[in-house]
Structure 1
Amino acid sequence: MKLLYGIQGTGNGHISRARTFLPEFRKHAEVDILISGHSYDCIPGEQPDYNLKGLSYAFGKNGGIDFLKSIYRLRPLRFLQDIHSLDTQKYDLVISDFEPISAWSARRAGIPSVGLSHQASFLSDLTPRPKKRSIAGEAIFSWYAPCDYPAGFHYLSYEDFIYPPVIREEIRNLRLNLHSVPQKKLYEREHATVYLPAYHESVLMKYLKNITDIDWHVFSKTADQPGTYGHIHVYPVSEDGYLNSLSSASYVLCGAGFEAPSEAIYLGIPLLVIPMRGQYEQWCNAAALQKMGVPVIEYIGDRFCRQLSNWLSTALSLRIRFPDLTGEIAENVLDRYGSVKHVRPA
């Protein structure tokens, strides 16, 4: 059996999930990799077979999407050309982690496709949504990277095709020593690990400088090198640096993406999330997290310092030991959909 695994390159969560799933799929099939997008900071430990522009957005500096930069990067004709030129006929199955070129090419060629992503969970009406639904946001869930068969991930199993979050091995290993007495303290004081890629570090520092009870480890997409500013430490985004900080963090402050909150919940670290403006998926995640008891701040403004102080003084941990079902899910996907006959559209 030959598979094409399409990975969305906006953010690192899709890449992280692929790194976990690729070895499982390769136990049973030959796998080619396609990555599209431009906002990821790490790649699966190998070169992809296809590295395409795709469709993705650019992070802003004050909590939202940089629409001008996103539009500037948009290449609709190139996107359509990539769909038509990608030869999916040579594959038995296409697996897409919300990657649009592989998904649309499979649909065009009549190749069965599986949506193996967090976004696939929103194809169920039972997954939480914010009070005000977005028509455009719901359409993106259905049509950005369409699939024949969804296999989604969410904090809770709202429907039978929705699985628990995929927790990477590095995080599972962290948990082994997280609650034991460390032999050597990495950091002098308690600290919060901060990952808010839609905010520039200068915006965050404006507020964090006023909260001096703990240190703040801010991981920034725009920082070129580490810098220390009193009790605030700014780091470029890197896997090792983030894991080192997270291993002894007392708190996590992050966006309402899927992977970072899932990892904090798995580790039992008190969590506060701020969803990106204009990113409907994050507002859906925030609605789910709020129902689970995780505090949510809608935006950073004049009340932010007070909100942070209140959170630090009352923060409670939510710990869920998400099981590792990666091998089981990979086998289920191949058993159920790997033998589906190709049906070329009329």
Structure 2
Amino acid sequence: MKILYGVQGTGNGHISRARAMAAALEKHPALEVQWLFSGRPREKLFCMEAFGDYWWREGLTFVNRKGRIDRLATARQLRPLRLWRDIAELPVQDFDLVISDFEPVTAWAAKRGGVPSLGLGHQYAFNFAIPAPRFNWIARGIMRAFAPAGQSLGMHWHHFGHPILPPIARPHGRAENGEHILVYLPVEHHEPLLEELGKLPHRFIAYGIPTDLPAAGNIQLKAPAIKEFQRDVASAKAVICNSGFELISETLALGKPILTRPLAGQFEQEANARALEELQLAKVVERIDADTIGGWLDRLPAGTRILWPDVAESITRWLADGRRKDTAELAAQLWAQVIPGPEAGRLALGDIVD
């Protein structure tokens, strides 16, 4: 089977999930994969060895400024004619299946060319009734139209009674209780954030912030580095981050306490924050400053540890078997392996509905 696999490159979560899928797909030589990335300038992609001679397209992305979506800047950077040309010229007819991890060029090219397509990732969980901001039907409609697929495998921290899979997230190394707090807030206003962290009597290791900015002695700024980042998460006392899906999934696999602030105006992150509160998996705050961080650290709760199964390997076997198993059955089998999982995580097939 020849697969064209598109990945949204905005942020690092989609690419992190794609790395896990690439490792699983390598074990099945009958699945021949061509990777495509969009949504981030090619020169800003890093540690891409797992994807071989990947393709790149400009795609679509959102502009974040000072902790919120900048709608005007997002609209200004759109190039619809370039996007349409990339969709029209993509040779999807050369492939048996197109997989899109919320990547619009491959998704729309497959739809236009009548090629079977599969949406794989967290955003496809929003095809079902899951926790989300109320009365935001426009944002939900944009999410569904962004990268449509003929079939989908959505992922979330709970299935909410639908055929949604657990996250592709497994611990990277052994969890340890270090003395530092891991901070990953790349879309926050960096200077005020560093000023607030500097007021606190705690040691912070921060990623996603320019390393040349002045920082107090209790703050260590680090450049992007996959292995080092994974080690720092695994050895952290706690994690402070925005409400993206992948990092929180990996942090839950390690059992670390989480403080999170959703990116304002970003439907997915606001929905994630609502789910985290409902499942009691993290502390959600509206602002990040010395008072909220300090108060949380002074009464630091125990983290919730969830051991997710090897979802990437199960999906790959499902693909190699011709996708014959019903998605509800695949979901039920995976949730039965979650340890300990959110309440009602281990459900029989009949408890998950289409």
Q: What TM-score bracket applies, with the shorter chain setting the length?
A: 0.7 to 0.9
Moved over 6 A (4+): none
Q: Report the Cα distance in structure 2 between the residues aligned to 1:133 and 1:329, rounded to whole angstroms.
A: 33
Residues 1:56 and 2:56 are matched in the alignment? no
Unaligned regions of 5+ residues in structure 2, if any? 326-354
Q: Report the Cα distance in structure 1 between the residues aligned to 2:157 and 2:232, rounded to whole angstroms.
A: 23
- Correspondences of 1:5-84 after superposition (within 5 Å): 5-26=5-26, 27=28, 28-38=30-40, 41-45=45-49, 46-60=51-65, 62-84=66-88
The one-letter amino acid paired with 1:129 is A
2:296 maps to: 311
Unaligned regions of 5+ residues in structure 1, if any? 180-186, 340-346
1:146 maps to: 148
1:183 maps to: none
2:173 maps to: 174
- Correspondences of 1:49-198 after superposition (within 5 Å): 49-60=54-65, 62-125=66-129, 127-130=130-133, 132-168=134-170, 172-175=171-174, 178=176, 190-198=179-187
Q: Report the Cα distance in structure 2 between the residues aligned to 1:238 and 1:69, rounded to whole angstroms.
A: 28
The one-letter amino acid paired with 1:52 is R
- Correspondences of 1:189-268 after superposition (within 5 Å): 190-212=179-201, 214-221=202-209, 223-225=210-212, 229-268=216-255
2:329 maps to: none
Task: Give 1:245 shift.
Answer: 2.0
Q: CA, structure 1 residues 17+31, in 2 after alignment: closer, same or farther (shift >3 Å)?
A: same
Can you list the C-alpha shifts for 1:130-179, whole angstroms capped at 9, x where unaligned? 3x3412211122110001111011111224531111115xxx2423x526
Task: Give 1:225 shift.
Answer: 4.8
Q: CA, structure 1 residues 334+108, in 2 after alignment: closer, same or farther (shift >3 Å)?
A: farther
Q: Report the Cα distance in structure 2 between the residues aligned to 1:210 and 1:202, rounded to whole angstroms.
A: 13
Q: Report the Cα distance in structure 2 between the residues aligned to 1:306 and 1:225, rounded to whole angstroms.
A: 26
2:286 maps to: 298
Normalising by structure 2, report the TM-score. Answer: 0.83
Question: Partner of 1:163: helix, strand, or coil?
Answer: coil
The one-letter amino acid paired with 2:207 is F
Question: Partner of 1:174: helix, strand, or coil?
Answer: coil
Question: CA-atom RMSD, angstroms?
Answer: 2.2
Q: Report the Cα distance in structure 1 between the residues aligned to 2:84 and 2:73, rounded to whole angstroms.
A: 20
Normalising by structure 1, report the TM-score. Answer: 0.85
Q: Report the Cα distance in structure 2 between the residues aligned to 1:128 and 1:319, rounded to whole angstroms.
A: 21
The one-letter amino acid paired with 2:147 is A
Q: CA, structure 1 residues 159+82, in 2 after alignment: closer, same or farther (shift >3 Å)?
A: farther
Partners of 1:227 and 1:233 within 8 A in 2: no
Q: Report the Cα distance in structure 1 between the residues aligned to 2:33 and 2:255, rounded to whole angstroms.
A: 35
The one-letter amino acid paired with 1:53 is E
Question: Partner of 2:236: helix, strand, or coil?
Answer: coil
Question: Partner of 1:21: helix, strand, or coil?
Answer: helix
Partners of 2:242 and 2:262 within 8 A in 1: yes
Q: Report the Cα distance in structure 1 between the residues aligned to 2:322 and 2:131, rounded to whole angstroms.
A: 27
2:265 maps to: 278
Q: Report the Cα distance in structure 2 between the residues aligned to 1:267 and 1:287, rounded to whole angstroms.
A: 21
Task: Give 1:41 shift.
Answer: 4.5
Q: Report the Cα distance in structure 2 between the residues aligned to 1:20 and 1:325, rounded to whole angstroms.
A: 9
Can you list the C-alpha shifts for 1:244-265, whole angstroms capped at 9, x where unaligned? 3223211100000001111111
